[in-house]
Each structure stands twice: as structure tokens, then as C-alpha cells.
Structure 1
Amino acid sequence: MTEWTAEGLPTDVRGYLRELTERILAVFGDRTVGVWLIGSAAYGGFAEGSDLDVQAAVADPTDSEVATLVEMINHEALVCPAAGLEFVLYDQAVLIDPVAPLRWSLNLNGGPQRSPSVSTDFTTEAWFWFVLDLAVVRDLSVALHGRDLVDVVGMFSRDVQIAAIADSVRWHAAHVPDGPSRGANAARGLRFIETGTWGSKPEGLAWLASTGRTPEQALDLVEALPGLSPHSNP
């Protein structure tokens, strides 16, 4: 297990992550396979306005256990000191040899700057966010408890990852065409497509600039790629 280090995180954030982990363990006990911090807080990019992205895997979660966890970790029960919490719970079994769309058990969001949402139906959310979260962070996650993410989550096929990149870029075009993440998301995705390397969005933009291309060119290239058919797994 990678020892958890919270270097650079505020004291209240470190305390919150410890308490969040303890509450997950209180529900699932030794069936908790791993709890992981991902996103900016895991690789030194946490700043004011950042979310905390946490994912967990447990063995055979029941509906009643998931409902209990929601009661214990929603923002009213456990106040998030960051802009928000984005939390996803998985049954360990779906992560061993993952396919798309991923059948997560709980997707919970909330916080002082985030609208609260709770879902236990994986068909209600855009599939690509969950694939990208796990694909991008394989080497950038921090274990808050249990096994390292790379030892629990299998590799998605290259085709699934490319489909996720393409569908995410098209989603941005449809929903937030002027958003700051659109070009950066395309640059990061194109870097993976051409080099096989994932990284942060700023790293993707830096790589793209080194190739002499612009975010607009990356968008054109990625948007032309096939996405995921609703009834197939690439």
C-alpha cells in the first residue's frame, strides 16, 4: 500500500479525508478493499475552489449499506471543507476486468459550492466520466486506506479509453462550449491517443504546445473519433 501523505493539503481537508475514510470503514469494515484520493488533491494541484475526488471499492455492498453510507457522508452529516466532494463507490468485482459503462454502486456529490446529488443507478450518468477518472489516475492516486488503486482496478482497453475521450469532448461541446476545460480535456486525451501517456490537463496542454498544435486542432482531431455505442463495449 502506498502510504498516504497529504503534503500541501490544508489541515481541515486532511481531517475531513480521515473522517470520511473512517465512516466508510464503519459501514463496510474489512470488506473495504481501498479508498483513494484522486484528482488535483492527489497530485499537488489542490487550491481554493478545488473539489475533493474520492473513490472506494468494497466487496459486495448491499443497498441498505449504501443508504447508510449516504446518511453518514452527505454534506449535512459531514461538512466538506473544500468546494465539494465527488465520491464514487464500486463493488470490487466490477473493477477487476472493467468494461464500459461501469456499474458503480453510488455516485454522491455535494458541498458548499456544489449542488447535492445522490444516485445509485449507473445508467443516469454520462458513462465516460467514470472511465476517465479511473484511467487517468492509475499512477496519480493516493491510497487513504487499503490496497493501491492499480492493484484493484484492471486496465480499460485502449478502444474504451479513446471512446471515453471522444464522448467527453463532444459532451463539452454540447453543454459547456466556452468552458475552460474543453480544450485542455482534448489536449490531454490526444496525448494519450498518440503517446499512451495519461497526465493532468496542464500537462496535456504543455505536450500539445510542444507538438506545435493548438487546442482547436486537438478538438477537431478528437471529435472525429468514434464514441461508445449504447449497446456495445469497445
Structure 2
Amino acid sequence: MDHDVRGYLAELVDRARAILGEDLVGAYAAGSVGLGAYQPGRSDVDVALVAARPLGGAAKRALVDRLRHEALPCPARGLELVVYRRDVAASGTPEPGFEVELNTGATMPFRATYDPADRPEADGRFWYALDRSILRQSGLALLGPPAAEVFADPAPDDLLRLLVAALSWWLALPTPDGDGPAPGAEDAVLGACRSLVRFRDGVWLAKVDAGRRIAACGEGAELIGRAIAARRGGPPLGGVEARDFQRRVLDEIAGVH
């Protein structure tokens, strides 16, 4: 883990504990940090806090005020923080189920959401249960018990629906006309690879690792190779080719033949 990120996470946990006290039962690094794939200059810092009971409005606002980038500068592109009650984290629910959500950073649009009902449908409501599944497997405990003891997977049918929803959401994003360069398409392709690996093999991998696993099967190897290169500063993929690959993955996971 990057030294600056390590220090940042320690300070974040200290501030959260000062606000929540004994109600803070766990803090976990998720996403690329948890999966051992953090990429300075590109990756976000993803953190899940787990609270013993529902948070009041004052505690929610205090977390946002004390942890937002202006109060605690994030050394990465940004912080994506979600707070869950312990019973929700352990439930395996496919619903968002969060207490408060904070997105903040020097190059990240600010968002503070205090109730899942306020999360716009168009922004996707599938992220949270998928993230909790990744946390169960690979969450890095910064405070509290191991992540596998705190977070639960969704039921298999729910997980399948969530993967389909995520792929459908990516496909619904606007893309340039024609097959011109589509910045960000590499993440869509590699994210589709990660979903496909989870569907086939039952394991979550970092995006690049998932891409390599799918490419090793001979499926879209050339496109995946260019997607990995694009994450390192190479030219972006074409929009049409990326969407064609995503559709093939969606068809397999959704059972379309």
C-alpha cells in the first residue's frame, strides 16, 4: 500500500472513532486497496465503516464534515466512503442499505447521501451489495474483526441480478458516435471481465487481474490487452468494440444464447 494512503487511512479511522466512539465496530479498506491493486494517480480509496446502530443526523453530518477532502486531503483521486450498520453488513441484502455515503476528492465530484432513498436510480443501486461481497472476500481490516466475519455475500440469485444490473448500467452510458476513442472504456471492459470471473469462478479479482484471466482463455485477448495498456496511459479503446465485448459478457451472465 502507498505510504501516503496508509497514513491517510489511519487518520480517517481516528477521526471516525472520535465521532462514533464505541459505536464504530469496524473500518475496512475496499476496492483496489483491499484487492492489492492500488494504482497511484488513478485509483480511488474505498472505505467501509461499520457501526453498531443507526446513525443520527448529527453523526452523519460530522463524518462528512471531518472526512471530506477539504478537511482531510485525500492523496488519491478521491475517497469513496460508505457507512453500514453491522446487521445490514451481515444480512446479504441486495439493497444499498447504507447509513451515509461520501464521495470527495480533488478530482472527484462531491457527493454526500444520507439515505439510500436519495440515491438516484440512474446512478446505480447495485454497487453496494457488490462492494460488500468484495469486502467479504478481500476487505482489509483497519479496525475491528476480519471482514469475512462482518460482511455477507448476496444470495446467488441476487448476485446474478446485481451483476446483470451493473453490466446493463455500463452499457447504458453515452458513448461517442461511431467507433472513435472512448475514454474510460477500458474500465468498462475490465469491469466486465471482473464480473465474468466472479460468475464463472466465484472469486473477485482486481480489474487487470480479471482481464488477464479472461484473456488467457483466448476471449478478447487483444482488446483486453489494449484495455490494460490504456489504464497505464495508452490510447483509449473504441466505443463500439468495447460495447460489443460488454454485451457478450452480459449475454453469458444473463443466460442469453
TM-score for both structures, normalised by structure 2: 0.78
Q: Percent identity between the aligned chains?
A: 28
Tell me which residue corresponds to 1:25: 17
**What are the within-5 Å matches in structure 2 for residues 113-132 of structure 1?**
113-123=107-117, 124-125=119-120, 126-132=124-130
Q: C-alpha distance in 2, partners of 1:160/1:63?
A: 31
Tell me which residue corresponds to 1:5: none
SS at match of 1:57: strand
Asked if the contact 2:82/2:102 (under 8 Å) is kept, the reply is: yes
Q: C-alpha distance in 2, partners of 1:225/1:197?
A: 15
User: Structure 2 residue aligned with 1:188, among 175, 185, 194?
Assistant: 194
Does structure 1 residue 85 correspond to structure 2 residue 79? yes
Tell me which residue corresponds to 1:142: 140
Asked if the contact 1:128/1:164 (under 8 Å) is kept, the reply is: yes
Tell me which residue corresponds to 2:248: 220
Tell me which residue corresponds to 1:155: 153
Q: C-alpha distance in 2, partners of 1:186/1:155?
A: 19
SS at match of 2:137: coil
Q: Which amino acid aligns with 1:219?
A: R
Tell me which residue corresponds to 2:45: 52
TM-fit CA distance, 1:223:
4.5
Considering only aligned residues, what root-mean-square deviation do their CA atoms show, in Å?
1.9
TM-fit CA distance, 1:224:
6.3
Asked if the contact 1:190/1:218 (under 8 Å) is kept, the reply is: no
Runs of 5+ unmatched residues, structure 1: 1-7, 227-234
Q: C-alpha distance in 2, partners of 1:219/1:186?
A: 9
TM-fit CA distance, 1:67:
1.4
User: Structure 2 residue aligned with 1:99, among 90, 93, 99?
Assistant: 93
Q: C-alpha distance in 1, partners of 2:129/2:251?
A: 18
Q: 1:206 to 1:164 in 2, by over 3 A?
A: same
Q: Specify which structure has the higher proportion of helix.
A: 2
TM-fit CA distance, 1:194:
1.6
SS at match of 2:26: strand
Q: 1:82 to 1:221 in 2, by over 3 A?
A: closer
Q: Which runs of 4+ in 1 moved over 6 A?
A: none
Q: C-alpha distance in 2, partners of 1:22/1:207?
A: 38
Asked if the contact 1:187/1:205 (under 8 Å) is kept, the reply is: yes
Q: Which amino acid aligns with 1:117?
A: R
Does structure 1 residue 76 correspond to structure 2 residue 104? no
TM-fit CA distance, 1:221:
3.7
Q: C-alpha distance in 2, partners of 1:193/1:28?
A: 37
**What are the within-5 Å matches in structure 2 for residues 170-209 of structure 1?**
170-175=168-173, 177=175, 178=182, 179-209=185-215
Does structure 1 residue 14 correspond to structure 2 residue 26? no
Whose RCO is larger (CA < 8 A, sep 6+)?
Answer: 1
Q: Which amino acid aligns with 2:154?
A: F
Deviations 1:20-78 (A, max 9, x none): 10111011111211100112223332222321111111011222211111111111111
Q: 1:112 to 1:66 in 2, by over 3 A?
A: same
Comparing 121-130 and 17-26, the one that deviates more: 121-130
Residues paired across the two proteins, number: 218
